[in-house]
A and B are shown apart, each in its own frame.
Chain A
């Protein structure tokens, strides 16, 4: 027993004390210095949020026929949390599921892996606690197989969910107007950082069309089910549910009957053009309510069945939608297609001439050809009907009078040595008519068309100068092999363009006057311009949507087409034009198409357009409005690469009027009319609290459906109910 032992005890003392002190220090660090961070982690640990998707609002036509509604579909979802808790990480369950669904295990596995940097799609961009839908097209038999064998499918549920349905009332398709839905992408989620709760990944996002424009209102607000869970994922407390707020219904001014008629009308014109041996590639039709700026129909050819998007589009369908061969049916020709307008453009040019001082009552010669500079510009098919007033110039569509207006204005602006501030009356009037810029209609991806003014020409020259100057030297040896004359012409053109291609030439001015050359418009722009002429000069931003209404029927807001401008000419000029255009259908270029139409009761004013496109057949246009004495509608139809306006455009417009007014066999049958009184309904369709929809008075929403939209009928997630808590955790 010596001092050594005591010293050693002291050492032991120090050792023990230091052990305890280090524990205390660590405790202080954990609890006091970083306690807040751990408290947050603890909260995340316990709280689990499941997004309850909101039923998306329906899109209705003007009398309440659903253009898009929802149907109940059986959706198989995988809960990754439950799967992960399986001893093998859920591999066996997924393999069984793949077999049951008839898909591959690796495919399912890829679908449910969380998206992250370096993870290829498919992957799951949503919350990892969210059941991931893996199949939205299962049969009820398959769903039952899964639900009945819960113990074999932990974490797998089959649930009834609402998916988009396209009832096509009266066979109206309107695919490009409606748009479609796609799962939210990671980029979109990132962009909406603050709103991520609203875009949980279960939701799909509106792409294109009304689904995109009114996505916020249509989607509603998803509910959140907050649950306190234990370590096994068992719900411990009562779930707090913030119920989903269903999306608003979008009432549009589209009339399914007119829409269907417009689609069929352009389709039959395309068929006719093709039967005549013309390509007739694209077509569009627009019907506007000239008094309100509402869109009544917006048809595009070719089209497609939008239901192919529901439940995930197949690769084959997707490729077809985007391919040239399939005609790229996703593109709305009425708003995105840009075409030379031809003579339909003359209303703008005529207004420009009158504003520029040409006498509205004057008499003008319509020669067979008109010399612009050193080039001779011919009348259509070289006709020379002699002197006439402007009224007749529109009715017979005399080009040479308009060449002359354009040329003379060009000369007054200084010709090839333009003044510092040239007047360019036709360019300015075209802009006043709304050409050269998007109309602002409420669907995305609208084209602006093109008004080729001096600035445009200069910019274009700058962009193409290098190439032109190269061609001016090298010429076109490839073209020369087959067509030496053309090669020489092209070379001369390139030389000229290289040198002074920015110069606003007399030919440019003349072509502009008749809507040729580089002028491009969208069918909607043209319809909107004619609507302005028809309504006395008010240009509007067209609107397809009329109102947003809650599913219980209360109005959220009315949507009106804002005023976008006023035509500069006084009313009498527009009235003069309307009168002239009225004769087009009676005795002018449109008379053939309107033969047998009760023009005495419903006078239709219109203008044909036959726009030459180099290397292709003409664009066939007809732009119109009716009734002339008290205009209500503007209707435009166009078939590209087809032929004369009178042959394809005008008959299509005629068919649309037939549908609007119920004309058949030269008589008006109000029962068949989409608008029995020739007017769109003033009131909105009524949406009852029970989901029923009734048409405004005077209209019938008669269709083969009309029940309330499919609601959400949740079935308990299979994985959650069966597992019993294991006491403690083996590790």
Chain B
């Protein structure tokens, strides 16, 4: 173990003393939390609230509604998400291993439910369940958590003398991943598919799988993608939207519209931006889906390079802490959990910001911690809770 903290006690700490002293004690879980990670998440939450407010305000004013209604809802969702994250952090993540199959089955059930009449279509993706009261659930967001948990369970089983996952485990991993992926393919939700692929590859890699597995899967994925493309399995609009980022000018009023408007909004921000609430592209709602998938364009236009880069840095801090937690965790299960979460968040961040900057295809992926949306906010904060949980209990030997 590289960090000299082997003398720390159990997670639960000393059993004596008042609540306050327990909480503030050096060994207390609260003090041992990764506060850098917490700070980054909270900072992003604040930024997120401001950007969602700015993105939704003009339309709400136009419609004569309360201009803060989205902001209020978002803050509420953030608060719930933070509570959820705290609860998950408090849980012993190793207990989760036992419940992983249940989490997995519930998530798959949610994905199946989407395909039933309970599901609803938003923006061409049939990935929602309407639960009334203006709330919708997007099961694919939670499926990301479930995927990480189940793969960590399969690949993180302690094995004596084996540094490399057995072929059987790899096959099991792929088999378990195949079910939600197939369900997501039916929605269809290309973005989540890509995130799943990144998570599987990343976790297999860190689990120490043989290289031939890794390269084989990578090659297989590429061949599969080409096959899907050529065989016309995807809808026309998906391919159009997928390729529009490469040349938005080809069809400026059609599928290239989003890509182009996003670029214009970000580009017009300049170094310092137009100032919060002063982005004219944003106020004219030129960019579609601006409070969700294209939230980064609000930052680009109103906060400029300085503000947008700060968001990337904050996300980078989260990923860095995640990787640090993975590295520090001596137990494979915890390490894989952290790895899966990092892969998920990193890839989703890259795809989302990339599509706002015109370098990745437009897929319906939210920006972690920033985009408006209950499901993604909850899933992201649960993931942070898991990271904190791993961080608190990283010292496997003394447990």
Residue-by-residue, is A6-46 near B (CB-CB < 8 Å gives 1, otherwise 0)?
10110111011101101110111011101111110110011
Q: Does A601 contact B (CB under 8 A)?
A: no
Residue-by-residue, is B241-281 near A (CB-CB < 8 Å gives 1, otherwise 0)?
10000000000011101100101111111110000000011
Q: How far is the CA of A6 from the CA of B207 in the complex (A)?
A: 10
On whether the beta carbons of A42 and B266 are closer than 8 Å, the reply is no
Contacts of B188 in A (CB 8 A): none
> What is the distance, in angstroms, from A438's C-beta to the closest C-beta of chain B?
52
On whether the beta carbons of A45 and B59 are closer than 8 Å, the reply is no
Q: Does A725 contact B (CB under 8 A)?
A: yes
Which one of A225-233, A239-247, A543-551 is at the interface?
A225-233
Contacts of B164 in A (CB 8 A): 4
- Interface positions, chain B 335-363, Cβ under 8 Å from A, are 335, 339, 342-343, 346-347, 349-350, 353-354, 357-359
On whether the beta carbons of B288 and A728 are closer than 8 Å, the reply is yes
Q: Does A5 contact B (CB under 8 A)?
A: yes
Contacts of A9 in B (CB 8 A): 206, 323, 326-327, 335, 339
On whether the beta carbons of B163 and A39 are closer than 8 Å, the reply is no
Which among A4, A41, A729 is the interface contact of B163 at CB below 8 angstroms? Answer: A4
Contacts of B350 in A (CB 8 A): 19-20, 22-23
- Interface positions, chain A 230-278, Cβ under 8 Å from B, are 230-232, 236
Knowing A5-B208, A12-B323, A35-B269 are in contact, say whether A23-B312 is a contact too (CB < 8 A).
yes
Which among B206, B237, B257, B267 is the interface contact of A34 at CB below 8 angstroms? Answer: B267
Q: How far is the CA of A228 from the CA of B264 in the complex (A)?
A: 16
Number of A-B contacts (CB under 8 A): 174
Q: Does B22 contact A (CB under 8 A)?
A: no
Which residue of chain A lies nearest to B299 when distances are taken between CB atoms in the complex?
A27
Interface bracket on A? 35 or more
Contacts of B320 in A (CB 8 A): 16
On whether the beta carbons of B271 and A35 are closer than 8 Å, the reply is yes
Which residue of chain A lies nearest to B319 when distances are taken between CB atoms in the complex?
A16
Which residue of chain A lies nearest to B237 when distances are taken between CB atoms in the complex?
A731
Contacts of A665 in B (CB 8 A): none
Q: Does A2 contact B (CB under 8 A)?
A: yes
Q: How far is the CA of A725 from the CA of B227 in the complex (A)?
A: 40
Q: Does A730 contact B (CB under 8 A)?
A: yes
Residue-by-residue, is A37-61 near B (CB-CB < 8 Å gives 1, otherwise 0)?
1110110011000000000000000
On whether the beta carbons of B319 and A37 are closer than 8 Å, the reply is no
On whether the beta carbons of A42 and B271 are closer than 8 Å, the reply is no
On whether the beta carbons of B59 and A228 are closer than 8 Å, the reply is no
On whether the beta carbons of B270 and A39 are closer than 8 Å, the reply is yes
On whether the beta carbons of A231 and B285 are closer than 8 Å, the reply is yes
Which among B316, B339, B343 is the interface contact of A20 at CB below 8 angstroms? Answer: B316
Which residue of chain A lies nearest to B354 when distances are taken between CB atoms in the complex?
A23
Contacts of B359 in A (CB 8 A): 22, 26
Q: Does A84 contact B (CB under 8 A)?
A: yes
Q: Does B86 contact A (CB under 8 A)?
A: no
Contacts of A729 in B (CB 8 A): 257-258, 288-289
Knowing A2-B208, A16-B342 are in contact, say whether A39-B258 is a contact too (CB < 8 A).
no
On whether the beta carbons of A228 and B269 are closer than 8 Å, the reply is no
Q: Does B202 contact A (CB under 8 A)?
A: yes
On whether the beta carbons of B263 and A38 are closer than 8 Å, the reply is yes
Q: Does B181 contact A (CB under 8 A)?
A: no
On whether the beta carbons of B284 and A12 are closer than 8 Å, the reply is no
Q: How far is the CA of A232 from the CA of B62 in the complex (A)?
A: 13
Contacts of B258 in A (CB 8 A): 729, 731
Contacts of B207 in A (CB 8 A): 5
> What is the distance, in angstroms, from A255's C-beta to the closest C-beta of chain B?
58
Residue-by-residue, is B152-167 near A (CB-CB < 8 Å gives 1, otherwise 0)?
0000000000011000
Q: How far is the CA of A23 from the CA of B290 in the complex (A)?
A: 19
- Interface positions, chain B 138-189, Cβ under 8 Å from A, are 163-164
- Interface positions, chain B 291-318, Cβ under 8 Å from A, are 300, 304-305, 308-309, 312, 315-316
Knowing A8-B208, A23-B350, A46-B281 are in contact, say whether A230-B286 is a contact too (CB < 8 A).
yes
Q: Does B114 contact A (CB under 8 A)?
A: no
Knowing A5-B332, A9-B339, A12-B323 are in contact, say whether A39-B208 is a contact too (CB < 8 A).
no
Q: Does A705 contact B (CB under 8 A)?
A: no
Q: Does B105 contact A (CB under 8 A)?
A: no
> What is the distance, in angstroms, from B286's C-beta to the closest C-beta of chain A?
4
Q: Does A195 contact B (CB under 8 A)?
A: no
Q: How far is the CA of A229 from the CA of B58 in the complex (A)?
A: 13
Q: What is the predominant secondary structure among interface residues of chain B facing chain A?
A: helix
Q: How far is the CA of A15 from the CA of B316 in the complex (A)?
A: 12
Which among B63, B271, B349 is the interface contact of A31 at CB below 8 angstroms? Answer: B271
Q: Does A614 contact B (CB under 8 A)?
A: no
On whether the beta carbons of A12 and B264 are closer than 8 Å, the reply is no
On whether the beta carbons of A32 and B163 are closer than 8 Å, the reply is no
- Interface positions, chain B 224-244, Cβ under 8 Å from A, are 237, 241
Which residue of chain A lies nearest to B2 when distances are taken between CB atoms in the complex?
A6
Contacts of A228 in B (CB 8 A): 280, 284
Q: Does B205 contact A (CB under 8 A)?
A: yes
Q: Does A463 contact B (CB under 8 A)?
A: no
On whether the beta carbons of A27 and B124 are closer than 8 Å, the reply is no
Which among B208, B267, B285 is the interface contact of A37 at CB below 8 angstroms? Answer: B267
Q: How far is the CA of A231 from the CA of B280 in the complex (A)?
A: 11
On whether the beta carbons of B264 and A42 are closer than 8 Å, the reply is yes
On whether the beta carbons of A20 and B59 are closer than 8 Å, the reply is no
Contacts of B343 in A (CB 8 A): 12
Knowing A16-B323, A730-B123 are in contact, say whether A231-B284 is a contact too (CB < 8 A).
yes
On whether the beta carbons of B59 and A727 are closer than 8 Å, the reply is yes
Q: How far is the CA of A15 from the CA of B323 in the complex (A)?
A: 11
Contacts of B305 in A (CB 8 A): 27-28, 31-32, 35
Which residue of chain A lies nearest to B330 when distances are taken between CB atoms in the complex?
A1
Contacts of A23 in B (CB 8 A): 312, 349-350, 353-354, 357
Q: Does B283 contact A (CB under 8 A)?
A: yes
On whether the beta carbons of B257 and A31 are closer than 8 Å, the reply is no
Q: How far is the CA of A15 from the CA of B346 in the complex (A)?
A: 9
Identify which of A5, A15, A228, A727 gathers the most chain B CB atoms within 10 Å of its CB: A5
Contacts of A5 in B (CB 8 A): 163, 206-208, 332, 335
On whether the beta carbons of B339 and A35 are closer than 8 Å, the reply is no
> What is the distance, in angstroms, from A313's C-beta to the closest C-beta of chain B?
35
Q: How far is the CA of A728 from the CA of B358 in the complex (A)?
A: 20
Contacts of A11 in B (CB 8 A): 205
Contacts of A4 in B (CB 8 A): 163-164, 208
Contacts of B304 in A (CB 8 A): 31
Contacts of A31 in B (CB 8 A): 266-267, 269-271, 300, 304-305, 308
On whether the beta carbons of A84 and B339 are closer than 8 Å, the reply is no
On whether the beta carbons of B261 and A27 are closer than 8 Å, the reply is no
Q: How far is the CA of A725 from the CA of B124 in the complex (A)?
A: 20
> What is the distance, in angstroms, from A522's C-beta to the closest C-beta of chain B?
56
Contacts of A39 in B (CB 8 A): 267-268, 270
Which residue of chain B lies nearest to A731 when distances are taken between CB atoms in the complex?
B258
On whether the beta carbons of A38 and B286 are closer than 8 Å, the reply is no
On whether the beta carbons of B280 and A42 are closer than 8 Å, the reply is yes
Which residue of chain A lies nearest to B257 when distances are taken between CB atoms in the complex?
A731
Q: How far is the CA of A8 from the CA of B209 in the complex (A)?
A: 10
Knowing A20-B312, A229-B284, A731-B255 are in contact, say whether A1-B323 is a contact too (CB < 8 A).
no
> What is the distance, in angstroms, from B237's C-beta to the closest C-beta of chain A?
8
On whether the beta carbons of A231 and B342 are closer than 8 Å, the reply is no
Q: List 20 A-B contacts (CB under 8 A).
A: A1-B335, A6-B327, A12-B343, A16-B323, A19-B350, A27-B305, A27-B308, A30-B263, A31-B267, A42-B265, A42-B280, A45-B261, A46-B280, A228-B280, A230-B283, A231-B286, A729-B257, A730-B123, A731-B123, A731-B257
For the complex of A and B, list the 5 residue pairs with the smallest distance between their C-beta atoms, beginning with the closest. A38-B267, A729-B288, A42-B268, A35-B270, A230-B284
Binding site for A on B (CB under 8 A): 59, 62-63, 123-124, 163-164, 202, 205-208, 237, 241, 253-255, 257-258, 261, 263-271, 280-281, 283-290, 300, 304-305, 308-309, 312, 315-316, 319-320, 323, 326-327, 330-332, 335, 339, 342-343, 346-347, 349-350, 353-354, 357-359
Additional A-B contact list (5), CB under 8 Å, known A41-B268, A231-B285: A19-B347, A23-B357, A26-B359, A42-B268, A228-B280
